[in-house]
Amino acid sequence: GVVDEKFFLFRLAKIYAYPQ
């Protein structure tokens, strides 16, 4: 759903913001 997509994009942004 739309919420799932937004949540996925949010997680993806976190991964790019805080690479391990």
d(CA 12, CA 2): 15
- Torsion on CA atoms 10, 18, 20, 4, rounded to nearest 10: 0
Supply the DSSP symbol for 18: S
Residue with token string 């937004």:
6
- Tens digits of per-residue pLDDT, 1-20? 889 899 999 999 999 988 77
Identify the pLDDT of residue 20: 72
Identify the pLDDT of residue 4: 87
Identify the pLDDT of residue 1: 84
